[in-house]
Amino acid sequence: MNESLNIAIKASLKAGKAIMKIYESDDFGVEEKEDKSPLTKADREAHNIIMEHLSPLGIPVLSEEGKNIPFQERKDWENLWIVDPIDGTKEFIKRNGEFTVNIALVKNQIPVLGVIYCPALNTLYYGDKKGAFKIENVNDDNYEQKVDPIKLPHTSENPKLRTVVASKSHLSLETEVYIKKLEQQYGQVKTISKGSSLKLCMVAEGLADEYPRFAPTMEWDTAAGQAICMAAGCDVIDQSTGKTMIYNREELLNNWFLVK
């Protein structure tokens, strides 16, 4: 395992451990950001832990909790980390377990390494040029003993059934229309609701055929998942360009996209 991937995994596990301490407490320290989205004490603490791990590598970091970096400063970055300390803060506050730590390494605007850790489920996904993998029942205390990652993707159990994964908190009308079109095309479509970047992981894993996202997301919501999906042989298609979605754009708000 290369150094960057190993450090990103350890950062996600350390952040996950800190997140779970707060998750299991009675004090989330919830605040409201300018865009009305929630921010918790766990977001801030996870951000600091990840920065401690990534900063020594000398690669700039674009994080949701440190996102106010002018485009003029970052436009010439060939390499950068894109980080979301907690993707799915609403799921965290709801205590449904479907929140993740996202860390991606982007080279020339394409995610080439991705780590997604779901601390409530003790599940780790990662991907790079060697492929995409999943490790179950893993945390910061036992990671060194986990030597048998599962190679992704799995084979679909029912190739005749089209499975679509959609947002648990942000299902748009456009997404519903798209699913109805699939029903007309395939006849049988199963829809799974899931929070955070776990939706991308489900496509990478082969548990879902498609993830249409016709609602707002930011670069840090998708970069790590895109790296894992691409490593598993899938793609994330920007619906405005018809091409693989790129990163470190002037506008950090993603266009609509389709993962398949």
pLDDT tens-digit series, residues 19-32: 999 999 977 777 76
Is 80 exceeded by the pLDDT of residue 179? yes
**Tell me, what's the pLDDT at 157?**
58
**Tell me, what's the pLDDT at 30?**
73
Q: How many CB atoms neighbour CB 83 within 10 A? A: 30
| pLDDT band (50, 70, 90) for residue 169 | low
Is 90 exceeded by the pLDDT of residue 4? yes
Higher per-residue pLDDT: 168 or 12: 12
Closest CA to 119 of 14, 47, 199, 36: 14
Is 80 exceeded by the pLDDT of residue 155? no
Is 70 exceeded by the pLDDT of residue 34? no
CA angle 98, 104, 107 (to 5 degrees): 155
Q: Show the domains of the chain with their CATH numbers.
A: 3-152 (3.30.540.10), 162-259 (3.40.190.80)
Is 80 exceeded by the pLDDT of residue 103? yes
**Tell me, what's the pLDDT at 132?**
98
| pLDDT band (50, 70, 90) for residue 156 | low
| 70-102 residue pLDDT tens | 999 999 999 999 999 999 988 888 999 999 999
Alpha helices in the chain (DSSP H): 3-23, 41-54, 71-74, 89-94, 173-186, 198-205, 219-231
Q: How many CB atoms neighbour CB 177 within 10 A? A: 11
Q: For all residues of the chain together, what is the average pLDDT?
A: 92
Tokens linked to 121: 């489920």
Distance CA 179, CA 89 (A): 26
Is 70 exceeded by the pLDDT of residue 158? no
**68 DSSP 8-state letter:** -
